[in-house]
Structure 1
Amino acid sequence: QSLFGVSYPFDAYMGEIASGKQISFENSFSNVPEQVILTDFLVDRIYPVSTTSPAATVVAKVENQIVGTQLKKGKGVAYYCGFRPRDDQSASLGYESRTLFEILSAANAYPSTGKFTENDNPTYVSRTTDFFATKFPNGTTALVKHYRTHRENWEGGFSRNEEADAKALAANPLPSDELDIQHLKINGRDVTYRGKMNVAFRTDDSGKLIAFNGVQCTGITVDNVNYKFSSQPVDICYVPLDAGLKTYQLRVAGEGEISLPVPFAAGKAAVKNGKSDIKHVVKDGNMVLNIDGELSGKWIDITFK
Structure 2
Amino acid sequence: MVRHYKNHRETWPGGFSRNEEDAKVLAENPLPPAGIDVKNYKVNGHEIDFNGHLKMAFRTDSHNQLVAFEGHQCEGVTVDGVTYTFSEAPIETIAFNQSANSYEILVVGKGKVSIPVLLKTKKTFRLYDQNNKRLKYTMNGNQIKFEVNAKTSGKWLTLK
Does TM, normalized by the shorter one, top 0.5?
Answer: yes
Paired residue type of 1:176? P
Output aligned runs, 1:147-296, within 5 Å: 147-155=5-13, 159-160=15-16, 162-234=19-91, 235-240=93-98, 242=99, 244=100, 246-265=101-120, 266-273=122-129, 274-296=131-153
Normalised by the size of structure 1, how large is the TM-score? 0.48
Higher helix share: 1
1:164-188 CA-to-partner distances (Å, cap 9, x unmatched) read: 4333212110011111122210000
Paired residue type of 2:125? A
Matched-pair contact (CA < 8 Å) for 1:268–1:282: no
CA distance in 1, matches of 2:117, 2:77: 15
CA distance in 2, matches of 1:286, 1:145: 29
CA distance in 1, matches of 2:88, 2:6: 33
**Distance apart, 1:194 and its partner CA:** 0.9
**Distance apart, 1:275 and its partner CA:** 2.9
Higher strand share: 2
Matched-pair contact (CA < 8 Å) for 1:219–1:230: yes
The 3 A distance-change label for structure 1 pair 292 and 160 is closer
CA distance in 1, matches of 2:106, 2:7: 34
Q: Does the residue aligned with 2:23 lie in a helix, a strand or coil?
A: helix
| Residue of structure 1 equivalent to 2:2 | 144
CA distance in 2, matches of 1:203, 1:256: 26
Deviates more, 1:285-294 or 1:195-204: 285-294
Identity of aligned residues (%): 36
CA distance in 2, matches of 1:155, 1:254: 35
Whose RCO is larger (CA < 8 A, sep 6+)?
2
Aligned residues: 156
Matched-pair contact (CA < 8 Å) for 2:102–2:119: no
1:53-88 CA-to-partner distances (Å, cap 9, x unmatched) read: xxxxxxxxxxxxxxxxxxxxxxxxxxxxxxxxxxxx
Matched-pair contact (CA < 8 Å) for 1:267–1:282: no
Normalised by the size of structure 2, how large is the TM-score? 0.87
User: How large is the Cα RMSD of the aligned pairs?
Assistant: 1.8
> Which blocks of at least 5 consecutive residues in structure 2 are unaligned?
none
